[in-house]
Amino acid sequence: MCFTSSVAIRCPFLLFPISIRPSPFQFHNWRCNMPTFSFSIGLVLRNGQQLLEFRRQLPDQSVQFEDPISGRLYNWKISKVFSDINNGKLVVFRGHEVDAAKPSSVTGHDLPKLFPSLDSLPQRFQDEIERKLDYIRCLQKAGVTRGQRRLIKPVVVKVADRRKEKVPSDSTVISWWKAYEQSGMQASALVTANYQKRRRSTIHPRVKSLIFDVLKREYFTRDRHPLTRSHLLINRALERASVIEGEVIGPCKVSLATVNRVKNDVGPYYIDVARYGPAYARNKWRYSISGVTTTRVLERLEIDHTLLDVVVICDQSGLPLGRPTITVVIDAYSGYVLSFFISFWGTGVGPTLNALKIAVTPKDQYREANPTLSHDWLGYGLPELLVVDNGLEFHSRQFKLAAWQLNTDIQYCAVRQPWLKPSVERVLGHMGLYLPASGRVHKPQSNYLPPDPRQTACITLSQLSLGLLKCFVDVIPFEASTRTLTEPYELFREGFERMPPPLLPSSLSDIDLVGALNKSLTVGNEGIVMNHLRYNSRELQGIRRQVKHSFKTQVKFHPENLGFVYVQDPITGHWLQVESCNPEYTQRLSIVQHQAIRNHLKDGLRTRNAIETLIRGKSELIDYWDGFLSGKRGKKNIEAAKKFGSLTSAQSLLSKSPSASLANRVTELITEGDIDVAINDVPSFSSFILD
C-alpha cells in the first residue's frame, strides 16, 4: 500500500475514507493562476459547463459572446464581464489546461482550493524570476522573436555581461520565453522545476505496507499504545518477513523517525478519530464559521442550567441549604438575559418551565419591588424557537406539552456540542465572576486546602437572587462585545421596538400544572399526607364520598411552594387545588427548606439524646409492668389494690402517704402468725353483794 500517489484513500483501520496530506516526495507544478486576457477574437470564457466565444465589441461599452453549440448571443457590459471573471463566475478558458479532479474529505465536502502566491516564494527563487524576466524583456525590446536564434545570441551575451554571470545557452532562454508566453505572461511560469522537489521515498512498498499493518493493529486503536511499541513490533515483523519469504525486501530495521513519517501520512484529525473516537476528535477540532444566524429578537431563545459555585443559607432559619441550580433563558439575537430561576431541586422540568414563564411575561414588578435596580428588565412575549441540549427534562413529555401550549418549536443541539448555543454558555461561564466570596466553592488544587463553604456561607437565598437580578439587569447587558462593539441592552431594546407587538399567553395555569411534580398518594379522612404535611378541604372530601372511603390518586405539587397541591379526580380526570392545613408554616415554603428544618430538628433530638431517653423510658415501663404482674405476687398485688378502689390518680400523684402506705403494704404482707399481742397482768378487785 503506497500513499505517495493518491490524495484520498480508504483507510482500512479507520473504516472510512480519509484525506492524506500531500506527500513530501511528490512533485507539484507551482503556478499562480493570474492569466491576462483581452476582449478580442479568440477569447473563450467558461460559465460552468458552457463555453462562450467572443464575437464583437459594441459601441456602448458592451461585448457580445456566442454559445458555439446553440448559437445564442449574449450582450454584456465590459465592466460586468470583468467583475464576473474576477469573482470566479466566468473563467478564461485555454485549450491546453485540464481541470484536476477535486479531492473530497471524509465528510464528503470538497477540500479547500489552495492557490499560490509569488510573495510566498523564497527570495532566491524570486531573484531567479527577476533574472529570467530580464533576458526575456531585453529580447522583446530588441525586436527579436523566438525563432530568430541568430539574433538572440548577441542580446543574451550583453545581458550576461551586464549581470556579470555565465552566459546561458540560446535554447535555455528560448524555453523560458516559450513557457512565459504560453502561460499568459505569468511570472510564476518561470519558477524552476526544482522548487518543492523532494527526494522520493527509498522505503520498499512491501515494507511500507507492513508498517501500516502494524500501525493498524497497535497504534490506530482505542488502546492508545505508544509509537515505540509499534516501532518494536515493526522491526520484529520485518525480521520474520525477510526470513520467511527468503528475499531481501528492505532494511531489517527501520528507525522510529521513519515510522513516525509513515504515521504522519494520516492527518492528525483522523489519528484522533482512531485513537480517541469521533466525539473527542470532533470537539478537539471544532471550528466556527458564521455562528448562529438570527435576524430579530425573540426568534431564538437558548435555555441551559448550571450549578452555582456558592453555598447559601435559609432566610428563615439560617441553615445552610447547599449549592443552588440556576436556569437561564437568553435571547440569541442580542445576548440579553430574559429570565433566570434559582432552585435546589436540580435540572428538571420545574425549573425550566418556571424560567420560561418569567421569560414570556412582563417584568415591570421586579423593578418596582427592587429599587436598587437602575434599569428596566426588558423583554416579554412568546418565542419562535427554543434551543436546548439533550437533557432528560427537555425530552420529557411535560416540556413538550408546555411548548405546545406556548406554540413554540424546540431544537435539540447535537450531543457534546455546546457551541451550538453559544450565548447561554458564555453567560453561564462568566456568571461566576459576579458571585460573592462568602460561601464560594473553590476548585481543588494541589497542596491547597480550600475553606469549607458551609462554614463561610452567610448569603441568604433572597440576597443571592437579588444580586443575580442586578447582575443580569444592570451589569451583563452593558458589557459591549469586543467584536461588534454593541451592548445587549441597546441591541435588544432597538430590536424589540422594531418588531410587532409580541404575543402573550392568556393563562399560565396550564403550564403551572404541567410543570408540577407528580406523586401517587392516598386520600383518606384526613385528606392527603405528603412529606408529613396535611392537605384537606371540603371539596376533596366530597370527591372522596363519591369515589371510595380510601383511594389512591395522582397528586401534583410545586417544590418551591408547598402551600397547596393539585389532586386529580379519578372519575373526571380533572384537577382540584387543595390548600394546606397549616398555612402559616407552608406559605411559600419550599421542599428544600422543609427538609432542612426537619433535619435541624432531628439534629436537636439527637443532641439531647431524645431517642435514647425514649427507649430507656419504654424499657423501664415494660420492666415495671412485668414486675407488678409477675407470678403469685402479682395476684396478691391485685387483691391489695382492690382495697383502695376509692383511691384516684389525683390522690396517688399528689399525696405521698397513700402511695407510700400502699407501697409498704404491697411490698410487706402480714400473715396471721406475724400478729403478736402482748397480754398485761389483770388487776384483782374485791367483790360485794347489794341487797
What CA–CA distance (Å, rounded) separates 535 from 537?
7
Boundary of a domain, candidates 428, 463, 498: 498
Give the structural domain span for 233.
199-284
| Higher per-residue confidence, 84 vs 110 | 84
User: What residues pair up with 551 in beta bridges, in sequence order?
Assistant: 523
| Residue 50 placed within a domain | yes
Are 470 and 328 in a shared domain? yes
Tens digits of per-residue pLDDT, 538-553? 999 999 999 999 999 9
What CA–CA distance (Å, rounded) separates 92 from 46?
6
Are 375 and 472 in a shared domain? yes
| Higher per-residue confidence, 181 vs 624 | 181
| Residue 682 placed within a domain | no
Residue 229 is predicted with a pLDDT of 95
What CA–CA distance (Å, rounded) separates 342 from 468?
10
Are 279 and 316 in a shared domain? no
What CA–CA distance (Å, rounded) separates 585 from 592?
14
| Residue 402 placed within a domain | yes
In one-letter notation, the amino acid at residue 616 is R
Residue 643 is predicted with a pLDDT of 56
What CA–CA distance (Å, rounded) separates 399 from 394?
6
Are 599 and 614 in a shared domain? no
Tens digits of per-residue pLDDT, 359-377? 999 999 999 999 899 999 9
Boundary of a domain, candidates 556, 572, 603: 603
| Residue 141 placed within a domain | no
Q: CA-CA distances (angstroms) from residue 156 to 140, 179, 188, 515?
A: 12, 17, 21, 91
> Mapping DSSP to helix (H, G, I), strand (E, B) and coil, where does residue 110 land?
strand
CATH of residue 441 = 3.30.420.10
CB count in 10 Å sphere of residue 472: 21
What CA–CA distance (Å, rounded) separates 180 from 219?
49
Are 562 and 478 in a shared domain? no
| Residue 332 placed within a domain | yes
| Residue 527 placed within a domain | yes
Are 405 and 465 in a shared domain? yes
User: pTM for the complete prediction?
Assistant: 0.62
Tens digits of per-residue pLDDT, 597-655? 888 888 888 888 888 888 888 888 887 777 766 655 566 666 666 655 555 655 555 55
Are 420 and 376 in a shared domain? yes
Find the mean pLDDT for residues 44-53: 89
Are 428 and 479 in a shared domain? yes
Are 646 and 553 in a shared domain? no
Please name the residues in contact with 535: beta carbons below 8 A apart, sequence gap of 6 or more: 527, 528, 529, 564, 565, 567, 578, 579, 580, 581
Are 446 and 522 in a shared domain? no
Identify the burial level of 518 via C-beta atoms within 10 angstroms of its C-beta, where 0-12 means exposed, 13-18 middle and 19 or more buried: exposed
Are 541 and 580 in a shared domain? yes
Tens digits of per-residue pLDDT, 249-280? 555 788 999 999 999 988 899 999 999 999 89
pLDDT bucket at 156, cuts 50 / 70 / 90: very high
> Mapping DSSP to helix (H, G, I), strand (E, B) and coil, where does residue 182 land?
helix
What is the 8-class DSSP label of residue 471? I
Tally of structural domains, the chain: 5
Phi, psi of 506 (to 5 degrees): -75, -25
Residue 12 is predicted with a pLDDT of 41
Residue 181 is predicted with a pLDDT of 87
Boundary of a domain, candidates 447, 466, 498: 498
| Residue 509 placed within a domain | no
Phi, psi of 595 (to 5 degrees): -65, -35
Are 327 and 398 in a shared domain? yes
What CA–CA distance (Å, rounded) separates 102 from 351?
51
Grid cell at residue 140: 522583446
